[in-house]
Amino acid sequence: MITDIYIHSQVTTDELEYCEDMNTNAEIGARMRTLRKSHQMTLRDASDTLRDKYDLKMGFSYIADLERGEKRWFWEHIEIFCTMYGVPTSLATDTSIPLDHVEQIATILAELADLPGQKYEAVLQVVRAMK
């Protein structure tokens, strides 16, 4: 059981599915770090946002461990982080997308977020379909 992560839901860390391959965890972590930095967020900013908007208490040191691939990513957390960064989960998990493209795509999506709702959703669907 992971002790330095707390979840305010009915789900315990024992019940969550996680990514078992530590190499994959490191790759996801590198992508998440890229996404966080593309949003100009510090580790503390990410921790505060997760707590305030997603009811997920995760300390900034734990996030740093995740980004370095030293901790395992739970799939539910990947989804929450990607939602926080406004990107499809495939951007964090599809290793065929080069890391430098992850930052470019995240930047484009962040700029598109100012579009009216329907247009933004349409563009987001196109991005999600690109796999």
The torsion of the CA quartet 95, 103, 85, 25, rounded to 10 degrees, works out to 30
CA max distance for the chain: 43
Cβ count near 21 (within 10 Å): 10
Q: How many domains does the chain have?
A: 1
Percent above pLDDT 90 for the chain:
42
Model confidence at 115, pLDDT cuts 50, 70, 90, reads: confident
CATH of the domain at 42: 1.10.260.40
> Is residue 9 scored above 50 in pLDDT?
no
Three-state secondary-structure class, residue 3: coil
- Residue 20: partners with Cβ closer than 8 Å, 6 or more residues away: 72
The residue that leads in pLDDT, 74 or 46, is: 46
The residue that leads in pLDDT, 12 or 86, is: 86
What pLDDT shows up at residue 52? 96
For the segment 82-91, the average pLDDT, to the nearest whole number, is 91
Q: Under the phi-then-psi rule, with left for phi > 0, alpha for psi from -120 to 50, and beta for the rest, what region is 86?
A: left
- Residue 27: partners with Cβ closer than 8 Å, 6 or more residues away: 69, 95
Look up the domain containing 69 and give its range: 5-129
Q: How far apart are the C-alpha atoms of 27 and 99, rounded to whole Å?
A: 9
Model confidence at 6, pLDDT cuts 50, 70, 90, reads: very low
- HEC letters along 93-118: HCCCCCHHHHHHHHHHHHHHCCCCHH
Model confidence at 3, pLDDT cuts 50, 70, 90, reads: very low
